[in-house]
């Protein structure tokens, strides 16, 4: 149970960092900003579909949180370069 709360806390922190970095990229505009906006929407649709499938299959909330966190961390690494 402690691992679940840790993952949820870190997911919140990392998601805020990604939101800030994406906002900066979108604010700069241009082709990069447009590409990021499209990528963001596509990623959200895929992530929601995957989470729904996991939940329907009986996965635990911790498993779903780990999946989201993995994606958020990947975005954080990519946007931090």
Where in the chain are the domains?
2-80
Q: Percentage of the chain with pLDDT > 70?
A: 100
Res 1: pLDDT: 84
| Cβ count near 18 (within 10 Å) | 20
pTM: 0.90
CA distances from 47 to 1, 32, 43, 81 (A): 23, 22, 6, 23
At residue 19, the pLDDT reads 98
Nearest residue to 36 via CA among 47, 21, 49: 21
> What pLDDT digit, counting tens, does each position of 51-77 carry?
999 999 999 999 999 999 999 999 999
CB under 8 Å to 71, separation ≥6 — which residues?
43, 47
Within 1-81, strands assigned E span none
């Amino acid at each position: 149970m402690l691992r679940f709360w840790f993952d949820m806390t870190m997911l919140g922190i990392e998601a805020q960092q990604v939101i800030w970095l994406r906002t900066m990229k979108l604010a700069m505009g241009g082709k990069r900003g447009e590409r990021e906006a499209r990528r963001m929407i596509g990623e959200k649709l895929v992530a929601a579909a995957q989470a729904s499938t996991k939940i329907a299959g009986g996965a635990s909330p911790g498993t779903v949180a780990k999946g989201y966190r993995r994606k958020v961390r990947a975005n954080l690494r990519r946007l931090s370069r």
